[in-house]
Structure 1
Amino acid sequence: MKDSNKPWSIFQFLIVFLFFPFLLEAQEIEISSLQELTHYAGKSGNTVRMEPGLYKLGDYLTTDSIQKRKKAGNFQFLTFSGDNNVFDLSGVTIEIDTEIRTMYNAPIHNSEFLVLGNSNFIEGLNLVYKGEGTSPGGSAFTIAGEGNTLKEAMLVVKGSFPYGYGDLFGKGGPDVISHQKHSGILITGSNTKLFDCKLYMRSFGHGYYIQKDAKNIHFENCYVEGVMRATDDILEETSGPAYDVKFRTWTPNREGEYVVTPGYMKSLSEDGFRTYGGIKNVTFKNCTVKNMRGGFELRTDNGVYLENCTTIGTERAYWVGDDAVIKNCKGDAKYGPLLFLEGSNVSVDLTVMPSESDKKVHALATIQGKNNKVRLRKKDDEKYEKLLPILIGYKHPEHGEAMSPYGEALTENLELINATSMPVIIGAQTKETSIHSIGKVEGNMGKNKILNFN
């Protein structure tokens, strides 16, 4: 039997001295208010479970408290500044009246819900914006710390101006109409992971986007959905922002005119997944984009990897730069091209889905650059009513706008396998290219190797 009165050893005292502060903080905590969530969001080393239910932000952020926050330079609704926390927010919905954004009138590029801490795990958070209030710009949710994980979050994002035209009148300068964007989730912190997250964009802005050279970002089973609108419907307006500027656009159409052109479909939001700058090592698995301007607009020169991803009804689906890998992915060309490839050393394996519409679409793909490998497949025995050309040695239209004309660009050492009936057009600046195609091939045969499937 051990003697309970035996003095502690120096080693035992040392262990308690080193780890006692951590043991005090490592608690499992039950909370049931936004005040408590705000409090523990600034602490570290806790497991926090919030009682499921609807929490209205306006009940927590009153007019008086907003004014005090503004004077202190605090423009966030809620900030997760602690480290090494687990937040179980399953079944929790925070409802945000966008009029709160108007009252804050925060400087541009301020996020409303912000993760500044490191190595946090946040699960089950639902953010639902209501109303028509606006702010100069920014995102609903930003992950700025390192090593954070967001799982099973759901955001319904509203609160931009103007909403209803997409980027027809600009997107941040130069603009025909000045925009007040409201985007979904911004990632600026490295080693961030997102699993099973859903965005429903009902504002002009990006869905998920990555900035400030963040690296090692992983998306899995994530979804983003916007809303489409026909340009014919826009031209029927007899009042409002578009009517006031006489429907003048910021990019020219194929006739060189700066005017909204009938026959096209526009997303009312920006891109589903977007990178800016020198983003390195970004992975997408089983992710889906529907009715956004761009599906996966990943024009970084440091390589991205996509596997089993899907685009549905976008203005343009996949837009990639150097060293990108697109593996076993699919998408349609219902409202715009499936692929813009502008880099080198790219590997693409895409299935062309048969979904089509009566809207104007000028190409299935544009391909430029060096040392690329592209395989386009068809789904089973599906047939296509529209034969959209695969443009080799061509670049995307200005700003990717469907109404604008395409230019030509150098393309060298391309391996294209076109297992669809879509035709291939080879531009004048194409050379040393190998093309295997079911669809008809025409254009610059030059120093290119053309083979037809049997």
Structure 2
Amino acid sequence: MKFSSICNALALIAVVFLPRVSASDPLVLGKAEGRFEVGKLLAQDDFTDLSNWKVQIEKRGDENAAWVESRDGWLDCYLPGRGATIWFKEKLKTRVSIVYEVVCPQVSPGVKGMSPRDINNFWLASDPGGGSLFDEKRYTGKFSSYDKIHGYYASTGGGGAGSANRTVRLRRYPREVNGEHAAHLFLNDKDEQKDYLIRPDEVMTVQLVAYDDLIQYIVDGKVVYEAEYGDLAQMERLSSGGEKATFPTRYTKRHFPFYQEGYFGFRMVGTHHRYRNFRVYELQPPSPVEVSVSSVEELREAVKESNRHIRMTPGTYVIEDLENDANVVHFTGSNNEINLTDVKFEIPLEVIRKMRRSRGGEQAVLLLSGDRITLIGLKTENTYPNGKSKVTDFGSYNQQSELHPPHAIVELRANGDDIILRGLHMTVRGSSPYGYGNMYGIGGGAAMSLRKHSGILAKGNRPIIEDCYVKMEAFGHAIFFQGGDNILVRNCTVEGEIRRSDELYQEKDKDDLARKFNYQLQWPDSVKGLPIPRDHMINLAEDGIRAYPGARHVKVENCRVSKMRAGVKLYLARSAEVYDCVVTDCIVQGYSLPSKGKIVRCSGNAAYGPLLYIHTNSNNSQNIDLTVLPATETLGDHPLAAIRGTRNRVRFKASEGPEPVVLRPIIVGYQMRFDFLSVDFPKVPPGYEKHFAKHADEHYRAEENTIINETGHPVVLGDQSRDNAIESKGRVTDLGRNSH
């Protein structure tokens, strides 16, 4: 059962297998039990050659003293006094198990810089800047050159020269960011434990698991380390004195988002290793259990489990109580498909009013905390205690606390990753204030307490929201994102409510909000104290599809948004694409994007507010194609578009039909806040002069943009416009410089 010392010999004398696990048969152990099954073989290598591998050996001068070779079905690595990383060239995705066999031979006493040590591994590793791990200028074989990578690392038998084969560790890289030590997940409680160390000359089987958040390091059929979200773990970071130290931490998505893909690499230093039977297997969820439920109570219990196909008996269910203090139904299980086709939940406001403000703001009618949940077909409707559904007397409505939630809530909150919401139909009611748009505030600094009620909030990665309808009869967003990446919204419809501003002057009761604030705007500060403008339309809800900071890539396809504050408002995402959408009758803006964003084959009108707003001077390289639709009715003195930033390309296409009755300018570069822009730009709207003098010191630049205007609407280049290229059917007024 031993290998003879082969430090200087190239031929293997004998191999005798212990009765251990086969490398071709990965195990499902520990936290993995019930979470996944072993699927198909994805990749393998029996080391007939090294064509599938990239070898990086640390340079030490005596290059011929080290080798990495394929020999007799083994990968033979001989590395006196230096380190090496051998990368498998095929990129792997999460939900994999990597298995191989390795032997670490004893070393002849006279060989310097060699000992049985450091069976180490990288997996799901990647370059943080999007470069190649195979770049030998950045990754040299020296261990510290890999401190900046992203990925997982596990080691057996480390400890440094002279004291090797005593540590056993797992880390989540990076260990370094911009040359500075980075706090990272670090497990080391198996250090110095003989049962977990290298057994020289014996064949050992190593198994590495990455299944979303679950990571495992398994050796010879024994779980060495494992961690999944929610576990109490530890991290390594610098102490107040600048020394590396370990501290307890919670392994969570927020602090340690799991890696989606990357490369595997053997890692070693100052040792002789021989590897064989390298295999990569797909991991997949267990076959789901079919479950039928016929009550809300049964549904609540069913969605706590995982790997279920749940079908609810069709019908209308009146919700009578909360499951807990903050939710009607809390979906904690993962890998579930929940089919609620032809199921309707009627949720009375008196039930919603029982919700307490939860830690983390997780008060929601439906809370999805598990991962990989597909929710299909549910209809929800909030109902008022008086049986009414349509608010007509807004002054009275806002005085009745029983018609509002006790604090901000959302109808559905999706915290998990890979959530699919398909075919949902929501009617959202109950908020305070309601009926006044933004005039009393939208967040901090509001003139009154806000009790918003929003539709769908997604916070996880890779959510898909498709074929959904959200009817907003409350002050809140319809669909919005706080964090998450690869967000997709497609084939959805959002519809809000609007009303004429003149109606507010009919509110005569002393507690009606309009009268209470003396018929004056209260927010933002730039317009505070001004009279409520007449002949305008007011949004009653917030934005249709909205991204907040932390949201990374967002894609919106074939959606319809009408009568909201904003239609598709994505300027705070890191990147965004919008295709084949229609936005009509929105009040503050139709569309907005981050830098390098795209709007393709989209359309909308400017009936009650601007169709397009480019938000910041730093917004650049946007590519926008919009067809301007006719408006059956139009109110307000707003422009068609307000454009800032640099190197944006914007095309306005004319739709079929008569020329617009009201010509609304496309304003490019201006020296006034968005609130002051009007059809009379650069003039200040009548009555706004004092506020303009106080608040219009911001310079909104527009430089090197290309504007193609195929409509009859005019283009006005403001005094902050420079070097723009303009092609316009409508009249062009140039108050800037060097445009053509």
Class of the TM-score when normalised by the shorter of the 2 chains: 0.7 to 0.9
Name the SS for the 2:486 alignment partner. strand
Q: Does 1:352 align with 2:603?
A: no
Deviation of 1:175 (Å): 1.7
Q: In the TM superposition, what are the counterparts of 1:415-434 in structure 2 within 5 Å?
A: 415-434=706-725
Contact kept? 1:177, 1:241, Cα under 8 Å: no
Cα distance in 2 for residues equivalent to 1:96 and 1:33: 15
Q: Does 1:40 align with 2:302?
A: yes
Cα distance in 2 for residues equivalent to 1:175 and 1:54: 38
Cα distance in 2 for residues equivalent to 1:177 and 1:305: 36
Cα distance in 2 for residues equivalent to 1:339 and 1:85: 40
- Which residue type is aligned with residue 311 of structure 1? V
Contact kept? 1:100, 1:133, Cα under 8 Å: no
The 1:265/1:17 distance shift into structure 2, 3 A limit, reads closer
Q: Does 1:237 align with 2:499?
A: no
TM-score by length of structure 1 reads 0.87
Q: Which residue of 1 aligns with 2:363?
A: 110
Q: Which residue of 2 aligns with 1:167?
A: 438
Deviations 1:140-184 (A, max 9, x none): 101110011110001110110121112111112212232211011
Q: Which residue of 2 aligns with 1:307?
A: 579
Name the SS for the 1:329 alignment partner. strand
Q: In the TM superposition, what are the counterparts of 1:319-330 in structure 2 within 5 Å?
A: 319-330=592-603
Cα distance in 2 for residues equivalent to 1:411 and 1:56: 54
Q: Which residue of 2 aligns with 1:279?
A: 551
- Which residue type is aligned with residue 196 of structure 1? D
Identical columns (%): 29
The 1:43/1:153 distance shift into structure 2, 3 A limit, reads same
For residue 570 of structure 2, the aligned residue among 289, 298, 318 is 298
Q: Which residue of 2 aligns with 1:224?
A: 494
The 1:216/1:43 distance shift into structure 2, 3 A limit, reads same
Stretch of structure 1 that moved more, 241-250 or 140-149 = 241-250
Cα distance in 1 for residues equivalent to 2:455 and 2:600: 26
Deviations 1:97-120 (A, max 9, x none): 011121234355622211111111
Which sections of structure 2, spanning at least 5 residues, go unmatched? 1-20, 38-285, 385-402, 679-684
Contact kept? 2:316, 2:346, Cα under 8 Å: yes
The 1:267/1:43 distance shift into structure 2, 3 A limit, reads same
Q: Which residue of 1 aligns with 2:317?
A: 55
- Which residue type is aligned with residue 424 of structure 1? V
Deviation of 1:94 (Å): 0.7
Contact kept? 2:520, 2:531, Cα under 8 Å: yes
TM-score by length of structure 2 reads 0.55
Cα distance in 2 for residues equivalent to 1:413 and 1:17: 59
- Which residue type is aligned with residue 535 of structure 2? G
Contact kept? 1:314, 1:334, Cα under 8 Å: yes
For residue 366 of structure 1, the aligned residue among 627, 634, 642 is 642
Deviation of 1:234 (Å): 1.2
Q: Which residue of 2 aligns with 1:90?
A: 341
Deviation of 1:317 (Å): 0.7
Q: Which residue of 1 aligns with 2:451?
A: 180
Deviations 1:294-329 (A, max 9, x none): 111112252210000011110121122312110010
Cα distance in 2 for residues equivalent to 1:186 and 1:354: 32
Q: Which residue of 1 aligns with 2:329?
A: 78
The 1:358/1:25 distance shift into structure 2, 3 A limit, reads closer
Cα distance in 2 for residues equivalent to 1:57 and 1:353: 42
Which sections of structure 1, spanning at least 5 residues, go unmatched? 1-9, 450-454
Cα distance in 1 for residues equivalent to 2:666 and 2:710: 12
Q: In the TM superposition, what are the counterparts of 1:328-343 in structure 2 within 5 Å?
A: 328-342=601-615, 343=619
Stretch of structure 1 that moved more, 281-290 or 403-412 = 403-412
Cα distance in 1 for residues equivalent to 2:525 and 2:601: 34
Q: Which residue of 2 aligns with 1:388?
A: 664
Cα distance in 1 for residues equivalent to 2:525 and 2:446: 16
**Greater Rg over alpha carbons, structure:** 2
Q: Which residue of 1 aligns with 2:134?
A: none
Cα distance in 2 for residues equivalent to 1:442 and 1:256: 31
Name the SS for the 1:377 alignment partner. strand
Contact kept? 2:439, 2:524, Cα under 8 Å: no
The 1:397/1:98 distance shift into structure 2, 3 A limit, reads farther
Figure out how many residues of one structure are paired with residues of the other and give that number: 426
